[in-house]
């Protein structure tokens, strides 16, 4: 299952103001062609960027696009939902609702990469129209439905949602490996809820499920 993401930010007003100052209106001129996300213009921005990561890790335990757990080899990469590349949407580089943790699979260049995710652009981020199911602005339950065949949890487009279709296409959400992993995680969460597992039991269960 894919759930709507929540981002609890701990940034102070002065930190938000600091970020607003580095919005890259002219990325080439100001930052030698590099986006200030990758090359923070000063230590303060670098420190705020680290704080954003801590906040995201605290509030988001699953990939914002496929809904699979972020753990093991990767705690997830910070992904810009609307790409920050200069030819896409650099002005949303530091927009908090544009930042989500994504697994290495969804974040790979072959999947999302710099593909455009905005179909109608507005000055205010939340007023833009996105062509994918947005991790914060959309409720996945309105876009996806699921079929459980015991081995896989299969994803399907609900209500003929074009955003769902696009997300499934870009991130390969109907890929058999992903459907199988999702079924395993779903089974795990069902058992956890049913038996209210203690942490030690949870480790045993994870080992039994081969996680
Ligand atoms: Zn993912």
| Residue ranges covered by each domain of the chain | 13-208
Q: What is the pLDDT of residues 54-67, one digit of tens each?
A: 999 998 989 999 99
141: CB partners within 8 A, 6+ apart = none
Q: Which of 6-15, 42-51, 179-188, 189-198 has the lowest mean pLDDT?
A: 189-198
Ligand 1 centre distance from Cα of residue 61 (Å):
11
* Rounded-to-integer distance, Cα 77 and Cα 89, Å: 19
CB distance 102 to 79 below 8 Å? yes
Predicted pLDDT of residue 73: 44
Distance 119 CA to ligand 1 centre (A): 22
CA of 127 to the centre of ligand 1 (A): 25
Q: Which residue has the higher pLDDT, 28 or 179?
A: 179
How far apart are the CA of 29 and the centre of ligand 1, in A? 34
How far is ligand 1, taken at its centre, from the CA of residue 14, in Å? 33
Q: Is the pLDDT of residue 198 over 80?
A: no
Which range is most confident: 26-40, 63-77, 104-118, 152-166?
A: 152-166
Q: Over pLDDT 70: what percentage of the chain?
A: 89
Q: What is the mean pLDDT of residues 13-25?
A: 82
Strand partners, 129: 120
Give residue 163 CA to ligand 1 midpoint distance, Å: 16
CA 78 / ligand 1 centre spacing (Å)? 12
Share the mean pLDDT of the chain. 86
Euclidean distance between CA atoms 40 and 35, whole angstroms: 8
- Environment of ion ligand 1 (residues, CB < 5 A): 63, 65-66, 103, 106
Any idea of the CA torsion for 104, 171, 66, 163, to the nearest 10 degrees?
Answer: 150
pLDDT over 80 at 208, yes or no: no
Residues 6+ apart with CB under 8 A from 140: 1, 2, 3, 4, 67, 133
């Amino acid at each position: 299952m894919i759930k709507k993401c929540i981002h609890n930010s701990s940034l102070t007003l002065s930190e938000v103001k600091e970020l607003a100052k580095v919005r890259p209106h002219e990325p080439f001129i100001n930052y030698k062609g590099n986006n200030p996300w990758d090359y923070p213009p000063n230590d303060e921005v670098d420190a705020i960027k680290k704080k954003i990561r801590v906040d995201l890790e605290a509030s988001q335990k699953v990939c914002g696009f496929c809904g699979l757990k972020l753990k093991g080899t990767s705690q997830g990469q910070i992904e810009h939902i609307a790409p920050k590349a200069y030819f896409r949407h650099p002005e949303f580089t530091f927009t908090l609702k544009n930042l989500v943790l994504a697994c290495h699979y969804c974040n790979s260049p072959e999947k999302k990469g710099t593909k455009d995710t905005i179909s109608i652009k507005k000055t205010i981020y939340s007023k833009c129209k996105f062509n994918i199911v947005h991790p914060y602005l959309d409720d996945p339950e309105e876009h996806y439905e699921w079929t459980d065949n015991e081995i896989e949890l299969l994803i399907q487009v609900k209500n003929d949602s074009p955003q769902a279709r696009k997300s499934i296409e870009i991130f390969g959400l109907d890929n058999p490996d992903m459907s199988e992993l999702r079924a395993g995680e779903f089974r795990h969460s069902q058992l956890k809820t049913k038996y209210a597992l203690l942490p030690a039991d949870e480790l045993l269960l994870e080992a039994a499920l081969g996680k």
